[in-house]
């Protein structure tokens, strides 16, 4: 049955995506905490043939009004041959959300996007009533109660210098030299690292000077010291805590894990194991720059992810309605960061004539730097 369902996706649904409306955020990208959502209802008339035909492959598009971020399909009546015929619900990107069989009058399906597809799928014998939908509900972002008041801009958005300095952008962000909001600790030029509102942690030494290194603020100690005059950047390895799926994972499951380290300019992840049903279930790994995104299915052991730019990486798991596997586990991550003065990860982080001496650490989920000492 699953192979037939996937055929529907490729043949019937995907060609429609070119004309699907661009009215909101796709499933998995909705920030449910950033805004208040308001629910609305709308009358529709969407129904299969009554009764539906054998070998049916009917596709119905459902679209919420512009500005919607989610929609819910309410089936007034849903009656198909149990175990053989199905009503399939996909989101606007053709990801399967629900597979329904049997008599399920009153069934409701939440879709995390402003558009969806319903497929009436039947085999070669025995038919039933089909389905009928007379209304949907959808969510929109609540109107700003004070639209005349300036609203801080999000990271990546233009920031106008019309508010008190340091408050043009959302919390943990600031207005950089390119008039765009950047996360604290990120930068375009050296002077960004000294702007009001750009709060970031750095090595505590004076005198010193801030500068921008690969888009991340760094601090250079200028006092005499056996350490190199330039800041030392290195890959720091830290054990991952709880970055793994259930073993095995559940059907019809979507979840996101976040890996973050202040001051990191790059991150890479080590997977002890990845075991996802090939062609059906998958994980999505995404960096701070969303253009750096990969999708992984199948089986792997002891593998590294690519390097992702920035201080944050997210992992999303997406599973369909049948067959599960072991899942995945990240056992440790490496962060490319500026080291505290006098500390090291390898001998290469120390000055000539010095070596990196490892120290005893008690918390495996925190950085454990060595110390540069004379050989």
pLDDT of residue 27: 37
pLDDT of residue 24: 33
pLDDT of residue 331: 94
End-to-end CA distance of the chain: 67
pLDDT of residue 121: 92
Q: What tokens appear for 22 in the block?
A: 């661009």
Checking if the pLDDT of 96 tops 80, the result is yes
pLDDT of residue 11: 41
Mean pLDDT across 87-110: 91
Cα→Cα distances 312→146, 202, 203, 268, Å: 32, 18, 21, 10
CA dihedral 272, 275, 279, 280 (to 10 degrees): -120
Please state, for a pLDDT cut of 90, what percent of the chain lies above it. Answer: 44
The pTM of the whole model exceeds 0.85:
no
Checking if the pLDDT of 328 tops 90, the result is yes
Mean pLDDT across 202-209: 58
Residue 241 DSSP one-character state = S
Domain pair 2-141 / 237-338, same fold:
yes
Round to whole Å and give the CA distance between 198 and 104. Answer: 55
pLDDT of residue 308: 94
**3.30.450.40, 3.40.50.920, 2.60.120.290, 3.40.50.800: CATH of 237-338:** 2.60.120.290
Average pLDDT, the chain: 81
User: Three-state DSSP class for 18?
Assistant: helix
Round to whole Å and give the CA distance between 56 and 68. Answer: 31
Round to whole Å and give the CA distance between 186 and 199. Answer: 10
Going through 122-260 in order, the beta strands assigned E by DSSP cover: 130-141, 173-175, 181-183, 208-213, 216-221, 233-239, 254-260
Round to whole Å and give the CA distance between 368 and 238. Answer: 8
Q: Smallest Cα–Cα separation from 46: which of 31, 56, 58, 32?
A: 58
CB atoms closer than 10 angstroms to residue 189: 11
Instruction: Note whether 251 and 272 are within 8 A (CB).
Output: no
Q: What tokens appear for 262 in the block?
A: 């202040």
Which distant-in-sequence residues (6+ apart) come within 8 Å of 341 by Cβ? Answer: 203, 205, 221, 225, 227
* Residues making up the chain, counted from first to last: 375
* Top-confidence residue, 310 or 185: 310
Domain limits of the chain? 2-141, 173-231, 237-338, 339-374
Residue 17 DSSP one-character state = G
Beta bridge partners of 41: 137
**3.40.800.10, 2.40.160.20, 3.30.465.10, 2.60.120.290: CATH of 2-141:** 2.60.120.290
Q: What tokens appear for 231 in the block?
A: 């800041």
Cα→Cα distances 73→29, 88, 188, 218, Å: 20, 12, 46, 51
pLDDT of residue 225: 46
User: Three-state DSSP class for 311?
Assistant: coil
Residue listed under structure tokens 């597809």: 117
Tell me the pLDDT tens digit for each residue of 110-152: 998 899 999 999 999 999 999 999 999 988 876 655 555 567 8
pLDDT of residue 21: 31
Three-class SS of 323-370: CCCCEEEEEEEEEEEECCCCEECCHHHCCCCEEEECCCCCCCCCCCCE
Beta bridge partners of 86: 121
Residue 39's H or E segment, with its range, is strand 37-47
Tell me the pLDDT tens digit for each residue of 240-254: 989 999 999 999 999
Residue listed under structure tokens 């996909």: 90
> Apex CA 189: angle with CA 234 and CA 184, to 5°?
70
Round to whole Å and give the CA distance between 5 and 320. Answer: 11
Mean pLDDT across 204-230: 65
């Amino acid at each position: 049955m699953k192979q037939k369902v996937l055929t529907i996706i490729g043949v019937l649904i995907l060609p429609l995506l070119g004309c699907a409306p661009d009215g909101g955020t796709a499933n998995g990208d909705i920030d449910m905490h950033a805004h208040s959502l308001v629910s609305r209802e709308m009358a529709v008339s969407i129904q299969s043939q009554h009764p539906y035909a054998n070998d049916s492959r009917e596709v119905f598009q459902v679209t919420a009004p512009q500005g919607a971020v989610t929609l819910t399909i309410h089936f007034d009546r849903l009656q198909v041959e149990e175990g053989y015929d199905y009503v399939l619900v996909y989101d606007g990107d053709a990801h399967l959300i629900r597979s329904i069989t049997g008599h399920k009058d009153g069934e409701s399906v939440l879709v995390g996007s402003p558009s969806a597809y319903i497929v009436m799928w039947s085999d070669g014998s025995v038919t039933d009533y089909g389905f009928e939908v007379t209304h949907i509900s959808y969510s929109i972002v609540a109107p700003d109660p004070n639209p005349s008041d300036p609203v801080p801009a999000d990271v990546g958005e233009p920031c106008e210098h019309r508010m008190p300095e340091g408050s043009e952008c959302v919390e943990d962000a600031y207005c950089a030299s390119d008039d765009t909001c950047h996360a604290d600790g990120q930068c375009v030029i050296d002077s960004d690292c000294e702007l009001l509102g750009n709060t970031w942690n750095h090595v505590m030494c004076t005198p010193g000077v801030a500068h921008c290194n690969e888009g991340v603020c760094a601090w250079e100690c200028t006092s005499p010291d056996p350490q190199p005059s330039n800041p030392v950047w290195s890959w720091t390895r830290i054990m991952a805590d709880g970055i793994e799926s259930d073993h095995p994972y559940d059907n019809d499951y979507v979840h996101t894990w976040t890996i973050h380290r202040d001051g990191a300019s790059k991150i890479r992840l080590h997977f002890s194991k990845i075991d996802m049903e090939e062609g059906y279930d998958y994980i999505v790994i995404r960096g701070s720059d969303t253009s750096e995104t990969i999708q992984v299915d199948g089986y792997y052991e002891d593998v590294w992810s690519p390097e992702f730019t920035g201080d944050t990486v997210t992992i999303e798991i997406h599973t369909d309605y049948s067959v599960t596997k072991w899942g995945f586990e990240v056992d440790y991550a490496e962060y490319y960061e500026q080291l505290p003065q006098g500390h090291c990860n390898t001998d290469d982080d120390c000055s000539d004539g010095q070596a990196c001496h490892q120290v005893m650490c008690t918390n495996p989920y925190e950085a454990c730097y060595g110390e540069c000492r004379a050989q």
